[in-house]
Structures are given as structure tokens and as C-alpha cells.
Amino acid sequence: MTLFPGVALVTGAGSGIGKQIAISFAAEGCRRIAIFDHGTTGLEETKGHIETAFPGVDVLPVKVDVRVETEIVDGIAQVIQQFERIDYAINCAGIFGPTKPSHEWHTSEFDNIFNTNLRGLWICSREEVKHMMAQEPLPTHDGRPGCRGSIVNMASNLGLVSKDGTPAYNASKTAIISITRTDAIDYSPHNIRVNCVCPGIIDTPLTAEIPDDAPGVLIAPMKRKGTPQEVADAVLFLSSPKASFIQGSSLTVDGGYVIN
């Protein structure tokens, strides 16, 4: 029996880590996958990839800009209309933004990062949890009690430690870790698990301009970029019943970056 008999929802699924998470759910036997992104090209690429590699998987692409509350609410309604539930929600949409010290930032640049990374993630999570609270747990692979739903938020190792020049990004990711912990407390009585993942430098379009021998790569004991697959593996573990006692955690997937 698959670990994932329910419905997955992945935001930011048009590229990089989110795309790999959606593909990995299909690879691990999830048959109903909703994907959100504000770019339609990426959505179609991810849908096409899954449908070619895993025939029979039902993929629902929805164009959603997570900065727009109505688009999130409408998008979640479409998922419920088509799939009737949301079991594994992965809030991954995010941007990095400019690199410069705070005194050179425009307020609009700061707002754009917070509206995407933090406010957008929080609204997605809020809407997901409303449906999770109203649904019954699915059977699990080994018969242990299942949860009503699992949420995994995409934070960053830069939510745990800092680096120069990205004050808004770092702060948005620290706030995601904080919201994850608060929601984990609030929704434990509802049998919903909320965790986050803190990747280091991962080889995606977001980090394309960071060379393999950049100081930010070499500072990690493992001295390399991670792969989207390595992050997806951590996300799927946290989403699965094998993580049934893991609640409010911030799992680093960073080659040891934060321990150095």
C-alpha cells in the first residue's frame, strides 16, 4: 500500500523544489495531485512530466498567485471540488529578491517578499487547514492512527542563521518557522500535523547564479549544493504516516550548513 492514498497540494510547483515535490508524490503512489503556481508554463510542464511518467495520476493545475487572497481561496475551492479533500499540503511558493543591505531597499521590494513568502504561505495554510479539520483521517500503511492532514511549509536554513544582504528573505523564513510552530500547537487537538523544511543551497533556477564553489556552498561541511530530490524526500517523509509523531519541527536539509 502506498504511503500516500490521499490528495496532495503543492504551491510553487512550476519549478525547482516544488516541481520535484509534485513529481515525487506521483512517484510514491499518490494518485491525486493539485499544483499551484502563478506561471502557467511551469504548471503545464509539471503536469506533462507527471502524466507522461506516471499514467493514471490525476493532476489539477491551478494558476494561483499567492499574493492574491481571492486566487488562493478560489484555487483551494477548485481542489475540493475535484478531489474532495486535501491530505498533504506543501506550501513551497517563494522568491529570493534582491541582495543588498537594508538601507538600499525600497519598501515595495520588502513587501513583495513578505507578501509572497510569508503572507501568501499563511493564507494557503489557513485555507488548507479549514478543510483538513472537517475530514476524517485515511487508513495508513501499517494501521497506525492517521492524521486529518499534514502541512509542510518551505522555510530555509536562512530562517535559522543569517547571511548578508537578504534581510527580508531571512526574516520571512524565520517567520515561517514561527508560524509552523504556532500552528502545530493550535492544530494538534485537531489531529493535524504542521512542520517545515529548511533547505540550504539547492540547485534550482533560484540559485542558478551561485557557482558551485561559492563561499555559501563551501561553508557547509558537505561542500555542495543539494538537489531538489533531496528536499522532496524530506518533505514526503514529513507528509507520510512514518512521521506520525513529528510535530512543529524544522528539518534542515542543508549538508550541515547551520552546524558549522
When binding is defined by CB under 6 A, the residue of 14, 97, 149, 255 that contacts ligand NAD is: 14
Contacts for 207 with CB less than 8 Å, ≥ 6 apart: 201, 225
Alpha helices in the chain (DSSP H): 16-27, 40-53, 69-83, 107-113, 121-133, 167-187, 215-218, 228-239
Window contacting ligand NAD (CB under 6 A); options: 88-96, 100-108, 129-137, 234-242: 88-96
Q: Is 206 in the site for ligand NAD (CB under 6 A)?
A: yes
Q: How far is the CB of 3 from ligand NAD (least distance, A)?
A: 22
Nearer to ligand NAD, 9 or 17 (CB): 17
- Find the catalytic residue in 173, 187, 225, 257: 173
Establish if 59 lies at the interface with ligand NAD (CB under 6 A). Answer: no
- Does 199 contact ligand NAD by CB under 6 A? yes
Determine the Cα–Cα distance for residues 182 and 189; give it in Å rounded to an integer.
13
DSSP characters over 183-235: HHHHHGGGTEEEEEEEE-SBSSGGGTTS-TT-HHHHTSTT-S-B-HHHHHHHH
Q: Check binding of 149 to ligand NAD (CB under 6 A).
A: no
* Contact flag: residue 93 with ligand NAD (CB under 6 A): yes
Q: Which SS3 state, helix, strand or coil, does residue 116 take?
A: helix
From the list 88, 169, 187, 257, the catalytic residue is 169
Q: Which residue ranges make up the site for ligand NAD (CB under 6 A)?
A: 12, 14-18, 37-39, 42, 64-67, 92-95, 116, 120, 154, 156, 199, 201-202, 204-207
Point out the residues that are catalytic: 169, 173
